[in-house]
Structure 1
Amino acid sequence: MAKKNAISAKTQTPAAKEKQVIAEFEKHIYDLQQMLEISKSFCSTIEFSPLIESILYVAMAQMRVTGAGLFISEEFGSEYFKLSENYSGIAIDPTIEYKIGIDSPLIEFLSSSSSVFDLHELSEKFPESQEIKVIESLNPSLIVPLMLKNHLNGILVMGERIFVENLSADYTTYEKNEIQTIASLASVAVHNASLIDQSTTDMMTKLRLKFYFYNILEDKLDSAFFQEQTLSVIMFDIDFFKKFNDTYGHACGDYVLK
């Protein structure tokens, strides 16, 4: 079969070769346009939940997989990358805690690499790793680090590939490069969303600050106006809070706020 293909390639006419080159060139242009649209989509979303959902659906569509999940550090100073609810189309075992320690050897390895991996490669590297067992339970077809300037912002786990006739179930080098590009764009978006999240969140109560509230309120008002819907705002207030602080101290006041 290999000999036959070699003979076929040698006997290919110049016109056929030119047609093939043009087809490949057109595919590259199409893929670049896709990446531009994906970049716009990621950059236009600053809230974590819609952003994660967008990343998962894009990865699933581009790589033709049945599901995907994303391990991320959801809070500033967190010691773990967590899956939480950041997945779609993946079967989750309720007895397993889907988190990976930031200081684990697996995270150190992924942070120092610019590659994508299948489960077999990581299992060979870390045969006794509990973190690998956690990932293994998701039955991944590919594990993709989200890297930005040598910093790991997340781990994208690709689910089972969808069978398509005349297409291999294995990832080609071109597809691996493509998902790495998507992961790079996703990593930038996750990093930016994290910075916005930190700058608009009160570290003590974990509540949003006034700046964030006004931005969201403006969006909701515009949406309500164009869709001709009503909008309500509920405000809570703590009566005599200053008196409580003065009587019991600010530490107790902070406890009440939390």
Structure 2
Amino acid sequence: MVALVRLALGVGGGLALALAYPPYGQPWVAPLAVAVFLVAVAGARTRPALVVGLLFGLAFVGLHAEWMRQVSDGAWIGLTVALALFYALIGLVASWLWRLPVAPFWIACAWTAIEGLRSTWPFGGMPWGQLAFAVVDTPLMHSLPYVGTTGVTFALAFVGALLARLVVGPHRLRAVEWLVVVAVLAAIPVVRPWHIPSVNGVSGVIRPDGSIQAQETGSRARGLEEEVPLVSGRTPADLAGSWPWRGTILITVGGVLVMSLSSLRRRRRRTVEE
């Protein structure tokens, strides 16, 4: 792929992803934007993949976090650059993982792992613009109590990678089959949303990470949490905690190691043949 085409796809994908969030509110764009980005880094070498990822991040965060300019232009630029570095890392790792069998799975794990990393580090995390946040106020938000932000981010990244697979190939038919499977699984929480049991007329609300919080705030909330056994209504995502995210880290590291070993073996074979 021509370098300029890669760069254009990176910038275009970043701008498109920003449309999935307020004030634009077009969440259906998210997996398509991910797909455009992953097509741009497929088959790219190290430096082009880093540059494409950086441009994707600058375009996405620059538009998505434009509200930070109300604080100062310096804060907006600093946040944009800081978050863009994580997308540069995603671009690099994704370009490596495209070489593995079942690449969409590995790439979705890597995206989820790196997004989770920037949500916790540095400075306590910078969670703005996680893929999962795009589904708020959509039917897919019913998936959050079941799989949390980690699961929803993985699903959107996986769908984006499968769509990219339809473009770059091979195994296009298998990608279509997996898209159907994901669609069926995503429909289950919509049909059977997670209900929080209420006691004495007091109910709770589900945070984006799948945990439960009483509707009241401040000291009253603490009192309610003591009086009302909300723990009996903990969601699957709340029970799983951070373990799913940790799992994506281990899988990503494993994928990079497998890819590295495969590359090393190919180099040795070439050396022997020569």
Do both proteins adopt the same fold according to a TM-score greater than 0.5, normalized to the shorter chain? no
**When you count strand as a share of all residues, which structure comes out higher?**
1
Q: What is the TM-score of this pair, normalised by structure 1?
A: 0.28
**When you count helix as a share of all residues, which structure comes out higher?**
2
Q: Report the structure number with the largest CA radius of gyration.
A: 1
